[in-house]
Amino acid sequence: MPSALETLVKILKLEQDTGYRNTAVIGGLQSFANNWAGDAHRQARRPEHHQLVDEMVSKLRGYEALDTIEARHEAVRYMLGRVTGRIPPPDGLPPAPPDEQPAEEAGPPEPPAPDEAAMPPDESSVSLADENTPEPTPPAEIEPPGERADEGDEGEEGEDAEASAPPAAKPHPGFQRGKPRPALPADEAIARFSQLQETPVTVLHKVGEKMAEKLERLGLTSIRDMLFNYPARYDDYTRMRTLNKLRPGEVTTVIVAVQSVVRRQARGGRPYLMMTVDDDTAKMRVTFFGQMWLERQFRRGSQVVLSGNVELFRGELMMTNPEWEMVEREHLHTGRIVPVYSLTKGLAARTMRRLMNQTIDEYADQVPDYLPESVLSRTELADLNWALHQIHFPESHRALEDARTRLTFDDLFIFQSAMMRQRRAWQSAPGQPIVVGDEWLEPFKDNLPFDLTTAQRRAIREILADMAKDVPMNRLLQGDVGSGKTAVAAIAMGAAVRAGKQAALMAPTSILAEQHARSVTDLLRLAPDGEHMQVRLLTGNTSEAERQEIYAGLADGSIDVIIGTHALIQEGVQFNALGLAVIDEQHRFGVEQRGTLRSKGTNPHLLVMTATPIPRTLALTLYADLDLTIIDEIPPGRTPIDTRVIGLSERERAYGFIQSQIAKGRQAFIVYPLVEASEKLDDVGAATDEYERLSKEVFHQQRVGLLHGRMTPSEKEDVMATFARGELDILVSTSVVEVGIDVPNASVILIENAERFGLAQLHQFRGRVGRGAHKSFCILVSAAPTSDAQQRLQALEDTTDGFKLAEIDWKLRGAGDILGLRQSGGAEFRLTEAVNPRLVELAQREARTVYAEDPDFAAPEHQFLAWRVNALLDWRADVS
Ligand code: ADP
Ligand code: MG
């Protein structure tokens, strides 16, 4: 839904464009005012927003009575100026006083923590510092335990205690932003930002060449990189667990004192350290393998922070190879939320924290804000400089939340703006209209072996309508596994051929390409002129001779439809007249590959397809450069897949069940989250190890294959093809099996450690079975004792709707899983857990409002934004 302000801006612009004749809307602006007022008031959140709405309504009502073009011109200019914040409110309407509005309605949803509940929301930092914490320790006295021992092991950088002192608290603006700061002129803002980008990390105290190299390994070369290098997580020293509250199976952080450290030998002769630690409530054992030097680090009595999985071993609590850190006394004293950054070899946590602290202190206030003032005041987002301080060194949970909200909004807003700009660029190039008549389309549909679903028909209608235009189509076809996207694509490709053009379909693997070639060939034969359509397959397996022949056929136009893999975007491929490019499983391809395929024609129409369900709200941002069609219907007559969540004790029975299915001639998938057991996640079944066990012990009479992401593409293809031919009974796999491989004979999929996957991804796995005539089963094995995980998995038993599952995932686990699927560069949304529906909608609304008013970002207050947006687009290196 567009925002009320966006609608108003559009109408006012239209009124401008049509010469101020009060014709932009039927009935005139005065009648529009009445409808608009309701929406606008509903969306308003602060008194001055309501004042603005009332003012606009009265102007709109008075518009008709203005009898000169000049007066109307002036009225429209004024209204646009007010909406965009260029013109301040008239004198009669005072701006809301900065300190009187409690932030309750628009505040973040997190309930106040007990320690914050008594604080007035606005002066938290001051009261926290003054009343709740001891005087800051003078720097000279800070000598955290373990400091001396650090030196030997942490490399060249010694710690200077001074720099580790907590940063000065900044006032919390919350939603009281006070008087807007005068915006910098765009060129000055750009110059400042570029400067931060060009300032090398070596300007920081004690950062020399060696340290700079380490930082570079983390992708940090400039001060700008440092500023936006958000913590990977936080250790909350205000709310840690005590040992007596630990629960086995949970990853927890504790602060403990070291009682003893002894060297032991494992049975195989491997030495390890056995440490006993305690706090005031209980004792715990901790073992460290392969880090014998820690013996010197952990002295009796030293305070350590341990973070790891809690296990129960012979009735005792224990952790194995937890992440650890010496306690820094100042953190304990101030009860801070401490940032934890990604590290690299030779870069200690405290060193990194010191560097970040220095960066923030010296540079955070120099970052110019690119958000136009109008957006800032409408959204009530925190100040950018303040947010940068707080994201790194938060003074409270509330502050951290507000900072996250602000910075996540920025990512979403810039991304959305960039996508809209990209779309505008594409659409400004003339396309090639492809028009087919009903005399072709209707018999084609009638000849299909099934009735198209309503959703398929709607998709076809939308796609053909797009293709008929002289603007190139850019459409995303999203539909659950098995929803019948191939038939829709086949009809679109047929239409292109019918109109005298060529069509190409690119899939991520040869197996998929071969499957598509078979089904598309079969489908196109049913078109009225189908027997004349030349369909060919081009993959990495195509012989040299055939490839040359295909190249020639594509160049002279004798081949109408080409289906293939990356082989389609090789240099030798040239089309005579590519009219439609289709990309399947689009998230497997980068933006560049999409662009390369497109560039093989003259602005061909583009259809990208995905089976990855993404909540609609989020899709509208992630794919704002595309139009969206969703097939939300599965063809009738499918037997739903029987899904069960089971515990570890039932696993043997599940194996028995798999054997019985294989005895009936069926095949099975067994999926594990990781390739190899890592020391960190040693409770995770690893595909490689488990493959050994399963093939030698449990399923020694069956034929078992292994598939994982570290195999080469051709090794992977070989295994999958062997399985697809029925020459393997069981395929043991990591998550790579997710790609739409079609093995109709497979009837069981068993997924280990199911709680580690997102629901949408589990749903994708589940879609690997149930593709044939056989009743199919999905078994989710989960050891998770927590009811949260159980409940989440339960959703898979209850629903087969991928979009519903994606929504649930989003609510329960945040957007991380979903955004992780978008593999076009991880840096786009760094604070994934904060990407919530409310924020996504807000960013969309604001980006669209700015875009509606100024699509070229030509206004002075949008120039810096334009610069940032272009930087993102350049970075994505889209060739189109
Ligand atoms: P996906 O959307 O996952 O790519 P496919 O296009 O591979 O799905 O279709 C899955 C199966 O459903 C195919 O065997 C296809 O022939 C069949 N199919 C497609 N549309 C219909 C329909 N309307 N009614 C019945 N079966 C259909
Ligand atoms: Mg498909």
CB of 479 shorter than 6 A to ligand 1 = yes
How far is the C-alpha of 66 from the C-alpha of 80, rounded, in Å? 17
Q: Which ligand sits nearest to residue 631's alpha carbon? A: 1
Atom of ligand 1 nearest to the CA of 740: 3
Low-confidence ranges of the chain (pLDDT < 50): 1, 94-179, 333, 675-685, 821-827, 878-880
CB of 85 shorter than 6 A to ligand 1 = no
- pLDDT for 118 equals 34
Q: Which ligand sits nearest to residue 770's alpha carbon? A: 1
CA triple 524-527-529, angle to 5 deg:
105
The Å distance, Cα 758 to ligand 1 centre, comes to 25
The Å distance, Cα 512 to ligand 2 centre, comes to 8
The Å distance, Cα 698 to ligand 1 centre, comes to 35
- pLDDT for 574 equals 93
CB of 453 shorter than 6 A to ligand 1 = yes
Dihedral sign, Cα of residue 736, residue 738, residue 742, residue 745: positive
The residue whose CA is least distant from atom 16 of ligand 1 is 484
CB of 611 shorter than 6 A to ligand 1 = yes
Atom of ligand 1 nearest to the CA of 456: 23
CB of 772 shorter than 6 A to ligand 1 = no
Which uninterrupted H or E stretch holds 39?
A: helix 28-43
Dihedral sign, Cα of residue 58, residue 64, residue 70, residue 73: positive
CB of 483 shorter than 6 A to ligand 1 = yes
How far is the C-alpha of 8 from the C-alpha of 374, rounded, in Å? 15
Hey, what are 300's tokens? 């009796």
Atom of ligand 1 nearest to the CA of 479: 2
Q: Which ligand sits nearest to residue 488's alpha carbon? A: 1
How far is the C-alpha of 49 from the C-alpha of 772, rounded, in Å? 57
How far is the C-alpha of 380 from the C-alpha of 374, rounded, in Å? 10
Outline where 428-484 has alpha helix (H): 438-447, 454-467
The Å distance, Cα 517 to ligand 1 centre, comes to 14
Residue 877: strand, helix, or coil: coil
CB of 478 shorter than 6 A to ligand 1 = no
- pLDDT for 159 equals 38
- pLDDT for 669 equals 95
The Å distance, Cα 145 to ligand 1 centre, comes to 65
pLDDT in tens, 15-25: 888 888 888 88
Strands (E), 217-315: 233-236, 251-265, 271-278, 283-289, 303-309, 311-313
The Å distance, Cα 736 to ligand 1 centre, comes to 23
Hey, what are 385's tokens? 């400089």
CB of 222 shorter than 6 A to ligand 1 = no
How far is the C-alpha of 521 from the C-alpha of 534, rounded, in Å? 9
pLDDT in tens, 398-424: 899 999 999 999 988 988 898 888 888
Q: Quick one: residue 535, left, alpha or beta (phi over 0 = left, psi -120 to 50 = alpha)?
A: beta
CB of 476 shorter than 6 A to ligand 1 = no
Contacts of 611 (CB under 8 A, 6+ apart): 478, 479, 480, 481, 483, 485, 585, 740, 764, 767, 802
Q: Which ligand sits nearest to residue 767's alpha carbon? A: 1
The Å distance, Cα 483 to ligand 1 centre, comes to 6
The Å distance, Cα 806 to ligand 1 centre, comes to 22
CB of 448 shorter than 6 A to ligand 1 = no
The residue whose CA is least distant from atom 23 of ligand 1 is 452
Count of Cβ atoms closer than 10 Å to residue 296 Cβ: 11
CA triple 280-284-286, angle to 5 deg:
135
Cβ distance 411 to 829 under 8 Å?
Answer: yes
Phi, psi at 377, each rounded to 5°: -75, -30
The residue whose CA is least distant from atom 11 of ligand 1 is 482
CB of 450 shorter than 6 A to ligand 1 = yes
Residue 574: strand, helix, or coil: coil
- pLDDT for 807 equals 83
Written as one letter, the residue type at 803 is F
The Å distance, Cα 742 to ligand 2 centre, comes to 9
Q: Which ligand sits nearest to residue 520's alpha carbon? A: 1
By most ligand atoms within 8 Å of CB, the mutation choice from 460, 478, 483 for ligand 1 is: 483
Protein residues within 5 Å, CB atom, of ion ligand 2: 740
The Å distance, Cα 493 to ligand 1 centre, comes to 16
The Å distance, Cα 819 to ligand 2 centre, comes to 21
The upper half-sphere exposure of residue 802, i.e. CA atoms within 13 Å in the direction of its Cβ, equals: 26
Q: Which residues pair with 864 in a beta bridge?
A: none
The Å distance, Cα 505 to ligand 2 centre, comes to 11
CB of 481 shorter than 6 A to ligand 1 = yes
Count of Cβ atoms closer than 10 Å to residue 616 Cβ: 15
The residue whose CA is least distant from atom 13 of ligand 1 is 484
Q: Which ligand sits nearest to residue 613's alpha carbon? A: 1
The Å distance, Cα 634 to ligand 1 centre, comes to 8
CB of 493 shorter than 6 A to ligand 1 = no
CA triple 93-99-101, angle to 5 deg:
75
The residue whose CA is least distant from atom 15 of ligand 1 is 484
CB of 770 shorter than 6 A to ligand 1 = no
The Å distance, Cα 645 to ligand 1 centre, comes to 28
Number of residues that this document lists for the chain: 880
CB of 452 shorter than 6 A to ligand 1 = yes
By most ligand atoms within 8 Å of CB, the mutation choice from 486, 584, 742 for ligand 1 is: 486
- pLDDT for 132 equals 35
Hey, what are 535's tokens? 């369909």
- pLDDT for 617 equals 81
CB of 635 shorter than 6 A to ligand 1 = yes
The Å distance, Cα 609 to ligand 2 centre, comes to 8
The Å distance, Cα 688 to ligand 1 centre, comes to 34
CB of 484 shorter than 6 A to ligand 1 = yes
